[in-house]
Amino acid sequence: MSADLDIMVFRNVSELIKYLDDRIGEIERKLEDLSRMLEAVKDRKSKYERIKKLVEEISGETSATLSTTVYISGLRLVIDPKPVDEYEVLESVYRALSDKLNVLKRIRDIVETYLCKYLNEEGLNVIVELRADIPVRIMLKM
């Protein structure tokens, strides 16, 4: 069994829709914050790359950089990250959250289109299996 599995029970389809709307809203806010962070780092990243090129051109060789990464029990601790590294991490998280947002929106559309249309207030328990907070199985229990 994977550690990222969870289960939630909703009293009706409307509760499931509300849960999905809340998750979508939360991810949209995170994406807005990440977008601002990316913009703030982008300028520093560009300056860093230009300075690095200048140093390489003047010295005639690729500059050796000291590692600022420490590994502790499988966890990477990065001390004073380079703007390029910081930008890469932020961009990677942004892409992953965007993908997750798109999946949640598709699932919400499916639930609204089919379950709300036919079973919205039928007194069903809606049991949802989640993997990494994304519904992967919906069971309708009478």
State residue 85's pLDDT score: 87
Residues 6+ apart with CB under 8 A from 113: none
- Tell me what the pLDDT averaged over the chain comes to: 87
Tell me the C-alpha distance between 71 and 116, whole Å.
49
State residue 79's pLDDT score: 74
- Tell me the whole-structure pTM to 2 decimals: 0.79
CA angle 6, 7, 9 (to 5 degrees): 155
Residues 6+ apart with CB under 8 A from 21: 108
State residue 18's pLDDT score: 95
| Token reading at 42 | 């982008």
